[in-house]
């Protein structure tokens, strides 16, 4: 049943606020929907309250049906994570980079920095499946950077660049 709260102004009820809890998300937080309903002016307070209860029930049913439809449509086209096999490089270039870095607020230097960081990461993880990259693989990558990887000039990476690589990996997987 929807929760009904009266909105009052100068001691008179001007409208009703309906709240419905649809379900809980994975973290246990309630998923709620809200609406405000104004009662006709010619009703007494008791009749307005009864009309609000009927309107809240009708609204709650409508919202729950819409929510279930949206939920079914969303899950119909998504594979569960254990069934998906996303290419790491395409995920980084097509999804992560577009959503996280190429925003309106990012400056050209920031974009260039992350392009450079992801270039090295993409070379190492080329051909890997995103869902199969484990923390051990990431540790092996960091060891590879410290011991074997050489820059264009033939020098090993500095400690600061290694920290930047680690930070970029945290952004990608975090």
Average pLDDT, the chain: 86
What local confidence, expressed as pLDDT, does residue 79 receive?
56
* Packing angle, helices 135-147 and 108-124, rounded to 10: 100
pLDDT per residue as tens digits for the range 106-160: 788 888 888 888 898 989 988 888 888 889 999 999 999 888 888 888 888 888 9
Cα 152–Cα 158–Cα 164 angle in degrees, nearest 5? 100
What is the token pair recorded at 125? Answer: 């993880």
Residues 156 and 153: their CA atoms lie apart, in Å, by 9
Binning pLDDT at 50, 70 and 90, where does residue 91 land?
Answer: confident
Instruction: Tell me the C-alpha to C-alpha distance, in Å, between residue 18 and each of 1, 31, 48, 147.
Output: 10, 14, 14, 62
* Packing angle, helices 135-147 and 159-173, rounded to 10: 160
Which has the higher per-residue pLDDT, 131 or 49?
49
pLDDT at 164 over 70: yes
pLDDT per residue as tens digits for the range 26-39: 777 888 999 999 98
What local confidence, expressed as pLDDT, does residue 83 receive?
62
């Amino acid at each position: 049943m929807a929760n009904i709260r009266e909105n009052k102004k100068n001691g008179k009820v001007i409208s009703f606020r309906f709240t419905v809890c649809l379900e809980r998300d994975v973290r246990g937080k309630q998923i709620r929907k809200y609406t405000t309903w104004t009662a006709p002016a010619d009703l007494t307070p008791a009749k307005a309250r009864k009309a609000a209860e009927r309107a809240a029930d009708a609204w709650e049913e409508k919202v729950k049906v819409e929510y279930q439809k949206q939920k079914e449509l969303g899950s119909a086209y998504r594979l569960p994570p254990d069934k998906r096999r996303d290419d790491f490089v395409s995920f980084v270039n097509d999804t992560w980079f577009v959503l996280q870095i190429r925003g309106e607020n990012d400056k050209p230097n920031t974009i260039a920095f992350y392009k450079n960081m992801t270039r090295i990461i993409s070379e190492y993880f080329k051909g890997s499946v995103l869902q199969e990259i484990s923390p051990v693989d990431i540790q092996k990558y960091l060891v590879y950077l410290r011991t074997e990887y050489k820059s264009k000039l033939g020098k090993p990476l500095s400690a600061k660049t290694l920290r930047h690589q680690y930070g970029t990996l945290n952004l990608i997987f975090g």
